[in-house]
Amino acid sequence: MAFRLDIIKAYSVSEIETKVGEALKRYADLLPGAMSAKIVIKPNMNSNMNALTGNTTDLRLVASVIKFLKNCGYRDISIAEGTNSGFYRSGISVISRLSFDRLAKYYGVKVIDLNYSKKVEIDFEDGVKAGVAKEIIDADFLINMPKLKTHFEAGMSVCLKNLMGCLVGQENKKKTHLHLAKNIVNINKRVKPGLHIVDGLISMEGLGPTRGTPVRTGVVLIGTDPYLLDLVSARLADFDYKKVRTLKAAEDAGLLTKDHLRFASSIDLNGVKRKFKEPVANAFASFIHSPKRQKYFLAVRNTKVFNHLCNTRFFGNLLFKTGLRQDNFIKTEMEFKGFSFDRAKCVKGCTKCADYCPVKLKLPDVVAAKDNGCIGCQYCFLVCPSGAIGFKGSLGFLSEQLRQYERITKEIA
Ligand code: SF4
Ligand code: SF4
């Protein structure tokens, strides 16, 4: 089997754009011939925590892929995602909170919330049928863009796990849980992206997907085989692949082969490999989420009464504090009224805000200018080491991210 894989090291938005663009030219033979082809990009929008926390796909990487496709001449490009069930249930648009809708508008592409799509049924374990979004099945070319991160139930979440967001709404996503790893493999048997582009620019270690620690890994993996990419990602994080439940299920199903193992172990990861902290949940959450007890937990979780309780602030916070739930679904939106800029505080020689701006604005010079094209992603504000960029408005849900990640984001940026 001929495997295709590129490992790119990058930091700034310009570097990402140049290096990813160059690499994608090597995959041009896979792209559709017709410029009218439907091209769907599927990033990871697991929660409203932006890419700098290590949880979701970096807008800079998605922007570089869109620019490449537009330069090729493709006219029908969409960004599509069915975000995490809890946000969907709470009526929160993660697509908007992460500024993917504004990124799409900026570059003139479409955005689709797959949680509201028509369904195409696929087979899950025990004869269960689950609905995948029709736009995903109908795409002429699908590009999977996962975030590289740890996951307390699956071990790691990369290419294979990211396709869970192709399921329509909570009612279909919850069907995965009884046989999580096997059902993720089942999705991958039916949904076959032509290309996988893994965002390991800032990854997450520890208690992922939403309570871990961001680490700057500065790497993008590009390839055609999700099993190989997930295997290489496990090696990159220095994880035993057999502990990554999705990879183990793929191996049991004969989809991850000795060829994959041989090829992955032949790749030189010097300079990109680092030991990730494992996703170890607290004793209570581990007890409840153990695969042996999962069916009892799910039997309770899927009742109407429990769902109603989950939507209450008190019970929701209790689940978050005990570690049974990874997010607390803050409903207060951010009201962003622009930035202030204190030139006296700006550090001489620093270029971080410009390095992180997905739409490549001339920062910091225009950061406080009106109608400067800003998409409100907050990356510049979050990485600024000196407080020279000031937020105007009310932070809303972003205050929780600042509480957990402000210090480390500035440290690793
Ligand atoms: S100026 Fe800042 S908030 Fe606006 S798009 Fe650039 S990085 Fe994002
Ligand atoms: S990140 Fe802050 S300190 Fe650095 S150039 Fe931008 S405004 Fe100045």
Q: Which domain holds residue 353?
A: 335-394
Residues 202 and 273 reside in one and the same domain: yes
Residues 236 and 354 reside in one and the same domain: no
CB of 382 sitting under 6 A from ligand 2: no
pLDDT at 84: 80
Environment class of 266 (CB within 10 Å of its CB; exposed 0-12, middle 13-18, buried 19+)? exposed
For the chain, give the percent of residues with pLDDT over 90: 83
pLDDT at 1: 66
CATH number at residue 355: 3.30.70.20
Residues 142 and 239 reside in one and the same domain: yes
* pLDDT per residue as tens digits for the range 32-41: 999 999 999 9
CATH number at residue 69: 3.40.50.11440
Q: Are 327 and 210 in contact (CB under 8 A)?
A: yes
pLDDT at 325 over 90: no
Between 91 and 368, whose confidence is greater? Answer: 368
Q: Give a yes or no: residue 187 inside a domain.
A: yes
pLDDT at 159 over 70: yes
Best CA proximity match to 133, nearest among 103, 110, 163, 105: 163
For the chain, give the percent of residues with pLDDT over 70: 89
User: Ligand 2 centre and the CA of 363: distance in Å?
Assistant: 8
Q: Whose CA is nearest to atom 2 of ligand 1?
A: 380
* pLDDT per residue as tens digits for the range 378-391: 999 999 999 999 99
Q: Whose CA is nearest to atom 8 of ligand 1?
A: 377
What is the mean predicted confidence (pLDDT) over 312-340? 79
Helix axes 226-236, 258-266, angle to 10 degrees: 50
Q: What are phi and psi of 200, to 5 degrees?
A: -115, 30
Q: Are 57 and 145 in contact (CB under 8 A)?
A: yes
Q: Whose CA is nearest to atom 2 of ligand 2?
A: 384
Residues 263 and 370 reside in one and the same domain: no
User: Ligand 1 centre and the CA of 390: distance in Å?
Assistant: 12
Q: What are phi and psi of 202, to 5 degrees?
A: -125, 120
Closest ligand to Cα 99: 1
Q: How far apart are CA 324 and CA 281, in angstroms?
A: 9
pLDDT at 100: 98
pLDDT at 268: 94
Prediction pTM value: 0.93
Any residues with Cβ below 6 Å from ligand 1, and which?
A: 356-359, 361, 363, 367, 374-380
Q: Give a yes or no: residue 205 inside a domain.
A: yes
Q: What number does the ligand 1 atom closest to the CA of 367 have?
A: 1
pLDDT at 229: 98
User: Ligand 1 centre and the CA of 362: distance in Å?
Assistant: 10
Q: How far apart are CA 195 and CA 24, in angstroms?
A: 10
Q: What number does the ligand 1 atom closest to the CA of 366 have?
A: 1
CB of 389 sitting under 6 A from ligand 2: yes
* pLDDT per residue as tens digits for the range 232-247: 999 999 999 999 999 9
Beta bridge partners of 68: none
* pLDDT per residue as tens digits for the range 194-226: 999 999 999 999 999 989 999 999 999 999 999
What is the mean predicted confidence (pLDDT) over 107-130? 97
Q: Give a yes or no: residue 324 inside a domain.
A: no
Specify the number of domains making up the chain: 2
